[in-house]
Amino acid sequence: MKVLTAPDGEIAVSQELRNMLALLDDGRLIIAEADKFNPHVRGFMARLKQGGREFTPQYVEYTEIRNVYENVETAEERSDMQNAATTLFGKAVQMRASDIHIRISVKESTKIFFRMHGNLRFIESKPFKYGDQLCTTIFHTLTDVSDSTFESLSRQDARISDKSKIPSNIDGIRIATSPQVGGYIMVLRLLYNDTSNDLDLRSQGYSSEQADKVEYMKKRPTGAMIIAGPTGSGKSTSLQRILGSIIERTGGRKHIITVEDPPEYPIPGAVQTPVTNTETEEERAREYQASIKAAMRLDPDIIMLSEVRDRPTASLVIQAAMTGHQVWTTVHANSALAIIDRLCDLGVSLEMMADPTVVGGLICQRLLPTLCPHCKEPLSDHVHEYEEVDVRRFMSVLNLEGVFCASKNGCEHCGGVGTKGRTAIAETIVTDNHLMSLLRKRERLAAIDYVRREQGVMTMLEHAIQKVNDGLVDPFHAEDIVGALNASSVERDNRT
């Protein structure tokens, strides 16, 4: 974006007029709302018309005009910022960060963090102007799916997928921005392309029993298989592996269509359809729903939807499952059985859902940071450093002799953080008529008891304890994700 009325721009104007308006090279004339009838502004507009230049007036606050001029960059500055962005991306990939956080604050300058193994790590601090130029350059010159201009005081989404602009071992970068007090934040999600190398859920952290249950779900001819978990819990990676393994097993005989907003990982053999970039959340929701309906008319065997986010989408998922399709999707819920509650909250009839041919599988997962095998230390060597209440809690559920904790100083193999990589903990439930009958009668406690005792379902808490006892995960790191490790006994005894 070029500002034609900038001090060194194509159109010379006085500083007084520059305080009231800005003409951009895409034809937008940004005008201060308070000056829309100012004679100088009207005269400038008449001057543009006489010169045959087309323009579209937009009326804004004074701060927006000031931001336009403050963000004007020379070609040299823009090139420097592009190089800075490329260097930043490369550093994040080298450190295997999942996200880059750029926090821009007038008072606190620019702070850059990497999310590594689930935790934020401070990387560096820069002046406010540096961060503002960096974010503007990323949005304007590197993204290929974004709004036409970067507006720091608005929430915006974008994506970088041009392979020449990103490190070779990522498929793309998903960008989200939001205003904050005194500035704004830009978060960049790095989409690594090595997820497709291994399609086995066991290597992601699933137990053999859990992976076997997912295999059974894959073979169900109809029904929705729903994966739950918070943002960054590996849901998209699991979906990619599941669909990739179906394509591999069937030799491409299954017609798989995905509807994604936006597509994250490539799934060779599937038809991946993106949702067109839209201006508002309402438009995006409508476009997403229209894309789902279109996918259902394309003779699919399997449909994958990136997320159930609202009532119409939830209804479409159930509709697709009821009309003979196998459907895979994700939702935000706290446990596998809570998926049913979440869909009810979104307006889906419980009586309609409580059928194993309609909802065939429930999965919930989280990611735990795994200990660096080179520098992890036995927990027993550090027991004296912990509070007595923590030791008592751990002794009630853990075999302390086999438990390890993260080294405080780390080592060269883990970059000094004590952890290296992440592993999944999960709950997997294959639905059946008895379970659905209990849910239909709203006998939730009986349903929980049934899946635990009769189906042998392991909860995420039990899975986390198993991994702590195996020496793979620090117990405190596990508690950050699943809560107190003795929570089951506390709930059972009704005491703390």
Q: pLDDT band for position 496 (50/70/90)?
A: very low
Residues 246 and 314 in one domain: yes
How many domains is the chain built from?
A: 4
User: Residue 75 pLDDT more than 90?
Assistant: no
User: Residue 195 pLDDT more than 80?
Assistant: no
- Better-scored residue on pLDDT, 146 or 79: 79
Residues 224 and 357 in one domain: yes
In a domain, 6, yes or no: no
User: Residue 262 pLDDT more than 80?
Assistant: no
- Strands 183-192 and 99-105, how do they pair? antiparallel
In a domain, 218, yes or no: yes
Say what the pLDDT of residue 490 is: 61
In a domain, 319, yes or no: yes
What is the rounded average pLDDT of the residues 451-462? 94
Percent of the chain with pLDDT over 90: 55
In a domain, 7, yes or no: no
Q: Are 270 and 243 in contact (CB under 8 A)?
A: yes
Domain region containing 393: 373-417+459-496
Please report, for the domain that includes residue 97, its CATH number: 3.30.450.90
Q: Which of 93-97, 154-158, 333-337, 390-394 has the highest mean pLDDT?
A: 333-337
Residues 102 and 159 in one domain: yes
Query: Rounded distance, CA 81 to CA 96, Å?
Result: 22
In a domain, 10, yes or no: no
**Model confidence pLDDT, tens digit, residues 82-91:** 899 999 999 9
User: Residue 138 pLDDT more than 60?
Assistant: yes
Residues 303 and 443 in one domain: yes
Closest C-alpha among 234, 185, 188, 176 to residue 90: 188
Say what the pLDDT of residue 104 is: 93
User: Residue 279 pLDDT more than 90?
Assistant: no
Q: pLDDT band for position 73 (50/70/90)?
A: low
Indicate the residue among 135, 159, 192 that finishes a domain. Answer: 192
In a domain, 1, yes or no: no
User: Residue 394 pLDDT more than 50?
Assistant: yes
Indicate the residue among 143, 172, 192 that finishes a domain. Answer: 192
Q: pLDDT band for position 495 (50/70/90)?
A: very low
Please report, for the domain that includes residue 452, its CATH number: 3.40.50.300
**Model confidence pLDDT, tens digit, residues 339-388:** 999 999 999 999 999 999 999 999 999 999 999 999 999 998 988 888 88
Residues 333 and 432 in one domain: yes
Query: 437-472: string of b/e by CB count within 10 Å (b at 16+)?
Result: ebbeeeeeeebeebbeeebebbbbbbbbbebbbebb
Indicate the residue among 166, 192, 218 that finishes a domain. Answer: 192
Residues 135 and 178 in one domain: yes
Tokens at 100, concatenated: 């880059």
Residues 240 and 134 in one domain: no
- Better-scored residue on pLDDT, 232 or 360: 360
Say what the pLDDT of residue 13 is: 87
User: Residue 437 pLDDT more than 90?
Assistant: yes
List of residues 6+ apart from 438 with CB closer than 8 A: 444, 446, 447, 450
Residues 410 and 296 in one domain: no
**Model confidence pLDDT, tens digit, residues 405-423:** 999 889 998 888 899 889 9
Residues 113 and 208 in one domain: no
Residues 388 and 434 in one domain: no
What is the rounded average pLDDT of the residues 425-451? 95
Least confident of 240-249, 256-265, 434-443: 256-265
Q: pLDDT band for position 493 (50/70/90)?
A: low
Q: pLDDT band for position 468 (50/70/90)?
A: very high
In a domain, 174, yes or no: yes
What is the rounded average pLDDT of the residues 224-245? 92
What is the rounded average pLDDT of the residues 443-465? 94
Residues 464 and 443 in one domain: no
Say what the pLDDT of residue 278 is: 61
Residues 249 and 171 in one domain: no
Say what the pLDDT of residue 194 is: 65
In a domain, 205, yes or no: yes
Say what the pLDDT of residue 146 is: 55
Say what the pLDDT of residue 386 is: 87
What is the rounded average pLDDT of the residues 157-164? 85
